[in-house]
Structure 1
């Protein structure tokens, strides 16, 4: 609770120092977090990047900030270069799982030793997606994991990290790049992160078609998968599927008949 309170006080003071009524964006420097912490008589966060990360994926901005946003808009925090961030007014844009979708059962091919030693929910999620070839199943192309936790620099944005990146090929020979964002627990799928992933792929892989994916653990170990795209500066859902990894005995003939019917 103390950590949350400190974060709220620091980000609220940063906003207060820069905000002018009517502006739609402004930038601030990472070093300001230290300066403001000292002025408030508190210790600075040990990991300064965690402060902005928290407000992008884990928690709401303080009410003193959200109350300044016009109806239908919200403040988001974006990377704006090396050690620089931007408060930006954006349309309210939420990527949340549809509770009305059917769950598709997939035979679990995750090695037992991976399940035993996986570190953290997001790492376990990425491993399950990889070993069960869920990207291939979801997109209908053949993909290969190129790198996970790719840290790189993108022009106009600064340093970013992609949870995992795949390259793939279709039956027609078309090549794709697939950045994957993984979220577990209460973390939200970040539209800012998706925009950064798309910008990265456009810069690093200009000849490949970018198909950004977000995956999220739901209850009962169901994995929600989204293919996303950027349309008029908004992240939109192209397709969403829910998969459940089960043993072979948990897939009934009725399940198979239902899936066959959906192929038509």
Structure 2
């Protein structure tokens, strides 16, 4: 993948997240692949972390667990819960909306929003969306 393709996919990812969270109008900040040391857990990896501001000035933090198209790459509750613990530790005053993103076999993108729970068994699914990116030539 070229650098240009990577930047373009990043922009598409931002568009999808902006659509998923329609109330964002002030933009999204983006941090790629973040490792964190979480008390009581150890090292935790986040594939991406977004921060967004709504029109009322409320700040949201979106920790993201990303999975490839491979059938072996499954979204796991333990990883999501550890991601929540990391976001709670590092961003205690913000609203956290943990996401898992997975490329699907038909080239669509699935996004699952989870509850802000730090224990795997307490996690629940808040929303599930599926998107297909279509490139239109002008």
Aligned partners of 2:50, 2:17: CA distance in 1, in Å? Answer: 9
1:164–1:231 Cα change, 3 Å: closer
- The answer for unaligned runs of 5 or more in structure 2 is none
Deviations 1:107-146 (A, max 9, x none): xxxxx8533xx5xxxxx9xx73x3122111111223220x
- Structure with bigger strand share is 2
Normalised by the size of structure 2, how large is the TM-score? 0.82
2:19 equivalent among 120, 137, 143: 137
Separation in structure 2 between the aligned mates of residue 231 and residue 152 of structure 1, nearest angstrom: 15
Map 1:115-130 to 2 at 5 A.
115=5, 118=6, 128=9, 130=10
Out of 33, 37, 41, the position equivalent to 1:153 is: 37
Q: Which has the higher helix share?
A: 1
Of the candidates 205, 216, 225, which is equivalent to residue 91 of structure 2? 205
Query: Per-residue deviation at 1:231?
Result: 8.6
Structure number with greater Rg is 1
Correspondent of 2:56 among 167, 172, 179: 172
Q: Which residue of structure 2 lines up, in the alignment, with residue 114 of structure 1?
A: 4
Q: Secondary structure at the match of 2:133?
A: strand
Q: Is 1:243–2:116 an aligned residue pair?
A: no
Q: What is the distance in 2 between the residues matched to 1:143 and 1:226?
A: 18
Could you tell me how far apart the structure 2 residues matched to 1:231 and 1:139 are?
22
Number of residue pairs matched by the alignment:
127
Structure 1 244/208 Cα, relative in aligned 2: closer, same or farther at 3 Å?
A: same
Alignment map for 1:1-264 (pairs within 5 Å): 114-115=4-5, 118=6, 128=9, 130-132=10-12, 133-140=15-22, 141=24, 142-145=27-30, 147-184=31-68, 185-186=70-71, 187-229=73-115, 230=117, 233-248=121-136
Rounded to whole Å, the distance in 1 between the matches of 2:128 and 2:28 is 18
How far the C-alpha of 1:237 sits from its partner, in A, is: 1.1
Any gaps of 5 or more consecutive residues in structure 1?
A: 1-111, 119-123, 250-264
